[in-house]
Structures are given as C-alpha cells and as structure tokens.
Structure 1
Amino acid sequence: MKPISAICAVACLWAGVALASEDIPDKYPQSVLYNKPVEVIPNVWTSIGATAPPTYENSGHNNNLSFIITGEGVVVVNSGASYQIAQALHEEIRIRTDQDVMLVVAENGQGHAMLGNNYWIDQGVPVLAHVDAAAEFEKDSGQAFASLQNYAREKSEGTVPMQPTETFEDRVELTMGDFRIEVLHLGPAHSPGDTQVWLPEQSLVIAGDIAFHERMPPIFEGTCTSCWIDTWENAFEPLGATYVIPGHGHPTNMAQVRRYTHDYLVWLRARIAEHIDEGGDLTTAYYVDQSPYIQLDTFEELATRNAGVVFAEMEWE
C-alpha cells in the first residue's frame, strides 16, 4: 500500500486545477509547448497538452509529453507533433537535468506521438514504438504531416516524417538509474499499438490513449470497443496504478479514468444496443443522447461520430 502522504500529495497537487478547456489560450506563450512541464511525482514530469483539437494557437501540442529523469539518463514518452515541439521539450529537459535523453517511447502511431521523431533521431536518440503503431504511422504519416503544415504553418518547419528506429510486440523491460521501466502493449484499445509505460516501484502508469478523463475518448473506425473494455478490465486496471498520466489531460488516478473511459464505453455500448433492439438505424444512432458526458472537452466534435462508429461495430456482433 502506498503511503497516505504520497496519495494526498498528488491529490492536492491537482485539486485546485480547473479542468482543461478548449477555450483556454496557450498557457506557455514563450514556447511552442502548450504548458510548462510539471513534476507529477519525484523525477517524473509531464507537459500537459491542450484538450482541444490541434490548432495554430496550441501548435498541435494537444497530448501529454512526459519524461523520466532516472539518474542515468532520461526516458521521454512521445516525440511530439513536430520537430519544433520535440526541440522545445528537449530544452525544458535540459533546464531540469544534465542527463542525456537515452530513449523516446511513442504511445501510438498518431502524428502528435511521432511527427517529432526526426528531431530525436537527429540527436542520436532511439525511438521505440509498438510494431502496429509503427505500421499505422507509416500508413498515415503523409496525411498527418499535411495536416500539421495546414494548421501549424511555419511551426511545422523542420519536421520530416520518420519511422521509429526500434519496434516491440509485447513488452520491453529496462532498469535505468533509480527506475524499473516496463514498456507495455496490454492489448487492443483506442488505436493500433497503444502503449503504456509502467513504473511498478512508483505505482505510476503513463497510460497513453487507453485512458481519458477530461476530454471525450475518440472512437475510430476499426476500433473494437469491446476489446478496449476487455483490455482495460483484464490488463490495464489490474496494474493497480496509484498515479495515472493519461494521454490527454491532467495526471489523475485510476478511478477518474475508469469513470470517463471504461464506464463511458460500457454506457455507450448499452445505449447503442437499446437503439438496435428498438429497430434504430445508423442515421438515428448519431442522435443517441450522450448528455451525461456533455461536460467533456471535444464532446461536440466526437459524440455523434462515436455513436455512429459503435453502431457500425455492434450491428453485426
């Protein structure tokens, strides 16, 4: 059991922080990073991205960029959405330590996790991703780069889509300095090759996009929501993490991400099942009432799409 003081410390740290909002402007205007990195627990830092879609104002930094200062080097989680974001994160790391970055881990194959790869590779740092995430990035990187150029304009300069240098299938375990680090693919969830970084001795998981709590989880075409629920119940939550750094939003705990990810998926599937049982079709599935989750950022962008994707998945189950 974790000391009560440690649990209280992280709870108090975030108790006074308002939920992230699409209306909040860039919080760190002197940098292309949306937020200055904060220390979640000793030597584990994260720069919290906007919970809005990528825009010129947030520079595409709309996911969490984390790093672990181990004592023998730094491990970074996510390359960032561009060369310039990766470079800005590296500058923040150098302010906090003179230890070299030894490894970058990508949480999935999306642009905001991997479009900064070429910066890190230029520094001689290996970039690790799950084999399925690497395949997804190879397929979609051209479109992701074009999107970056469109919204970020001159902030996209320097970015060259580049594949990760290393891949894995199930897990990678390493000990570096004061940390035992497990890089895990626990099973199918939000997108191909979803990856979690688990620090068992600190009871902290850098969860990636398996876990949301301040913005609505996006459900992609091809996402298996029943598989996501199974992975959550059988592999993710059994980690027993005290601290959770989600893919988006402030660091929190397992109860919060369960409420707004696992429970949302279960709830939405139940509503779509009722809709199907009542003879509803795809055109009306989009309008299934999701108002219990209206407070989540990106609700307007994602709720109707999520309903349609889940209907298409469940129609043939």
Structure 2
Amino acid sequence: MTRIAVLAALTVLFAPPLAASEKISDQYPQSPLYSKPVEFIPGVYSAIGATAPPTYENTGHNNNLSFIVTGDGVVVINGGAAYVLAEALHEEIKAVTDQPVTLVINENGQGHAMLGNSYWAEQGVPIVAHVDAAEEFEEDAAQILEGMRRYNGDKAAGTTLQGPTETFEDEYIAEMGDFRIEARYLGPAHSPGDIVVWLPKQSLVVSGDMAFHERLLPIFDNTMTADWLETWDNAFEPLGATYVIPGHGHPTNMDQVRRYTKDYLVYVRRKIGEHIEAGGDLTDAYYVDQSPYAHLDAFEELATKNAGRVYEQMEFE
C-alpha cells in the first residue's frame, strides 16, 4: 500500500464520528477496555483511551494501550491502569494473532502505564522501562495503587504492585520480525522517565506523554515546561515521524501533536511571561487567557492548574 493510500484509509478510519470525547463514558461496553484496539498501520494496534480523567466507567483506561505484532512475538506498550485492563488487552491480542507476548514496555512511571504490570508478570513477560520511571513508580507506588482502588472499586481486583523487570538509561532496542523497535529516552518531558517507542522502518513513533492531542495536556509539579520544549525541538521533532500514536488521543501526525503540545506550551509560557512582566501574581495567573484551547477535552479540569504551575516555574527562571 502506498503512503497516499495509507493516509486515505486513515482519514476514513479516524473520521469525526470516531473522534475522542470526554462525554462518552465507554466506547466498548463488552470489554473493560474503553475502546477496541484498531490496526493503525500493518502490525501496529492501539486501544485508544478516554480523554476524560480515570473513572469506574472507563476502568482507568484513559491513555493509549498499544501493541506490535512483529512476526516473532508481540510487544505491548503500556501495562495499563489495572490488572483487568492488561488481561482484556491480552484477550484482544489473542483474537488477532497466536504469537505470544514477549515484551512489555512502560512509557513512564504513572499508574496507567504500570499498574497492569502485575498481570504481565504473571505471564512471565519481561517488562522494560526507563530507570527514572521505575524510580518514580517505586517511590509513589502505594499512593498510585490506592488512588486507582478509589475510583475502580471491584475492578481493582488482582492488581498488585509490580515495577519493570529491566531498566535502561538511553535506549532499549529489540529486533523482532519485520520491526526494529527502539525505546528511547529523549530527555525531560511530561514526567520523569518518559520515553518514546520509535519504529524507524515504519516512520512511526508511539510518543507516550511526549505528545498529546484531543485533550489538554496536564502540567504536573515535576513537569519542567522549558525542558520539555527543548527535548521536543532537539530530539522529538528531528525523528521526522510520519505517524504518531500519542499518549492521549487518536493516532495522528506531527502537525497535530505539535499544535496541541509544543504550541500549547509555548502559548501558556508566553501568556504567563506577559503576566509576570506586568507585575501579576499567582492568584491572577490561574486565569490567563487559554481560550484557543478551550475546545480540548479536560480543559475545565486542567487549564487553571497548568497556568499556576507554569507561573511557579517561570517566576524563578
């Protein structure tokens, strides 16, 4: 299939009726997964998560859970937010191929990347993550698990704390079948140990939380926005990816994730910079104009928090 044909097929596949919406509590009621995995390009599948915060209705599946059918085994990207989600994803994998899952890659140290590791560990599958993500998860694991139990209730059954079984600092490379799979740490981004999974032969990047669209990105206390922008310009953008499976939102391209990740960070920092130069304080910083992004899901929950955290960073830059 030519690249033009692939793009045409994707236009149909991800047309507006399938667009993410935080108002839809569950798009795949017969499964704990929020949505059924879809093959984006040959061999690469993703179950797109909700663009809303984690809830009992979406089982905490509010990030993208992806897998690659390589010909020599299946590589899963993200453990999921609970044992039940990892188990459900495995059932979907079995419906696609009889190849065994041979590797799990955690995109970061957050709960929706690692809490499902307990299922994969039971299957004897190696689990890989960046060393910083492993440390963050180990430090916060009890709190992360308790938070998931609060919203997931009985759906938390079976979930126990299981970090990665192997860590790396710069890159982890697996040559399997038709794929060269490069798990890369590009530099500071959304949270400690954020990585991307780069498929150079396919020109596809599973970006994790390096890149967002369809929902507003959250800025955490440990999200250094200036560093994130530097990593974007110096390492992520130069990949030159044709296809992007973001951490949140449907598969897309670089133009879209640039618009809703890099451009948003630049915009907020500019607005906060103007506010600081005008002598504004933290109280008013929460309400700087972010209306160009008000159409994104989770805007109401995140916009004011983001502005406040950027102010706290830039006040001392």
**Could you say which TM-score interval applies, normalised by the shorter chain?**
over 0.9
How far did 1:70 drift?
A: 0.1
User: Counterpart of 1:238?
Assistant: 238
**8 Å contact kept, 1:127–1:164:** yes
RMSD over aligned Cα atoms: 1.0
Instruction: Give the Cα separation in 1 of the matches to 2:303 and 2:313.
Output: 15
Q: Percent identity?
A: 66
2:286 aligned with 1:286, yes or no? yes
2:67 aligned with 1:59, yes or no? no
2:310 aligned with 1:310, yes or no? yes
**8 Å contact kept, 1:7–1:242:** no
Superposed CA offset, 1:34-66 (max 9, x none)? 001000001100000101000000000000000
Instruction: Give the Cα separation in 1 of the matches to 2:245 and 2:216.
Output: 16
Structure 1 residues 291 and 16: CA distance shift in structure 2, 3 A: closer
How far did 1:172 drift?
A: 1.1
Structure 2 residues without counterparts, runs of 5 or longer: none
Tell which deviates more after alignment, 107-116 or 14-23. 14-23
Instruction: Give the Cα separation in 2 of the matches to 1:297 and 1:3.
Output: 30
After TM superposition, the structure 1 = structure 2 runs for residues 1-317 of structure 1, keeping only pairs within 5 Å, are 3-317=3-317
Instruction: Give the Cα separation in 1 of the matches to 2:183 and 2:66.
Output: 14
The one-letter code of the counterpart of 2:190 is H
Structure 1 residues without counterparts, runs of 5 or longer: none
Superposed CA offset, 1:107-137 (max 9, x none)? 1000000001111011000110000000111
- Secondary structure of 2:211's counterpart equals coil
- Secondary structure of 2:40's counterpart equals strand
Structure 1 residues 207 and 134: CA distance shift in structure 2, 3 A: same
The one-letter code of the counterpart of 1:11 is T
How far did 1:174 drift?
A: 1.7
The one-letter code of the counterpart of 2:168 is F
- Secondary structure of 1:250's counterpart equals coil
The one-letter code of the counterpart of 2:273 is A
Instruction: Give the Cα separation in 1 of the matches to 2:71 and 2:17.
Output: 30
Instruction: Give the Cα separation in 1 of the matches to 2:217 and 2:207.
Output: 13
- Secondary structure of 1:247's counterpart equals strand
Instruction: Give the Cα separation in 1 of the matches to 2:167 and 2:231.
Output: 21
Instruction: Give the Cα separation in 2 of the matches to 1:134 and 1:60.
Output: 20
| TM-score normalized by the length of structure 2 | 0.98
How far did 1:18 drift?
A: 4.5
**8 Å contact kept, 1:82–1:159:** yes
| TM-score normalized by the length of structure 1 | 0.98
The one-letter code of the counterpart of 1:152 is N
- Secondary structure of 1:209's counterpart equals strand
Instruction: Give the Cα separation in 2 of the matches to 1:22 and 1:14.
Output: 17
The one-letter code of the counterpart of 2:229 is I
Tell which deviates more after alignment, 5-14 or 186-195. 5-14
How many residues were matched structurally? 316
